[in-house]
Structure 1
Amino acid sequence: MLRHAYRLPSVRWLVACNLAAMLSVFFFGGLPELSAVYWWEMVIIWLFSFIRVAVVSPLYTLAMSVLLLIGAAFFMAVFTIGLAFAGKWPEFWIKGHLGLTILTRSVLLSAIPLLFSHAYSFYRNFWPDREKYRGPNEDASLRKFVRYPYQRAALWSVVMIISLVAAGSLRKPWLAYVFIGLFKILADVWSHITLNDLTQAAKQESGR
């Protein structure tokens, strides 16, 4: 599945946006900022999952809102721990509010390419085929869209913490960029294809 993925326009855009976000943080920030950028990406993922659910089944949106609140508490805790491992715990919670790290200009600007990536995927892969997720496929579609953010949060709780701890232990912070960048792109491509049912599309592109 992954070997054909690069032929899909949305996958190429995904990879480009991820690299742009990482390079922006690398040159204008550091590991804490990178963690904060991915914190914002989880917000973006939850937002588009919410929109998908609302489009497929408006009546289900209220239940999804409750699940979003629970999920938000989970991934905020996970990424707060990640920021702590990166060495910015005091700055992250200083004066009792979520602020200095996730609201810096470099973090917000670096998160913009990721917003574009998810918006492009939604526009290209979900919106034109939204009717196929309704009717007899509605239950399965809703389960997939609701689970998707939790799966991403669970995956990234492992990737982020292990990468940051490993880089810190080796005293080579730049390795965290390598670990996170490589595994994030691979995981993003896989989850992108799975979420949007693009396995067959990737194979068809490979035959052209």
Structure 2
Amino acid sequence: MTVAIYGSGGFGRELLPFAGPEPLFVSDDPAEIGTSVEGVRVVRLQDVGDRPIVIAIADGQIRRRLAARLQNTGQLISPTAIIGPGVEIGEGAILCAFTTVTASARIGRHFHANIYSYVAHDCVVGDFVTVGPRVGINGNTIVEDDVYIGTGAVLRHGTRDRPLRIGKGAVVGMGAVVTRDVPPGTTVVGNPARPMVHPPAALRAV
């Protein structure tokens, strides 16, 4: 199946090898309309026709706004991705090369799984979640809507009775090792991951 890719930046270009024959890029920038990127035409949303669209923009909030405009949303899954038994994947999801969703996991709408990342058994991942390259989400983890998980982060497995939970809108920094729940809207970094502490305003101004 050939798709149209909303966004011709780096991530959009990474999708071209498995976007089907004669894909399109979609842009809202008048300066880009009618040009080509890596040999792929850039068109307006209204010129896509009936082909399905995926959104190749990392910011989940921007994806959410753009998704509200789409009439025909597709999925884009690399042929090297592995999808195990009992897995449900929502509309608009993108699974890049060498990604894995192992078993009995539920993936929400407009999910991004970058290269070499995985979601393990019995996880629940919300809508508009972005997972960077080489991220490991281990079993019995709940990732709520609008979460961003940076490159190389690892989330400890939970249990059926007490899943690990990453709250809505949280950010997990690159390389973080998450061993406990992350509250909504919190940024965590380090090993073990802890909330980011911002210096006082007086120090930031120095």
Q: Tell me the TM-score range normalised by the shorter chain.
A: under 0.3
Q: TM-score, normalised by structure 2?
A: 0.23
Task: Name whichever structure is richer in strand by fraction.
Answer: 2
Q: TM-score, normalised by structure 1?
A: 0.23
Task: Name whichever structure is richer in helix by fraction.
Answer: 1
Could you say which structure has the greater relative contact order, defined with CA pairs below 8 angstroms and 6 or more residues apart?
Answer: 1
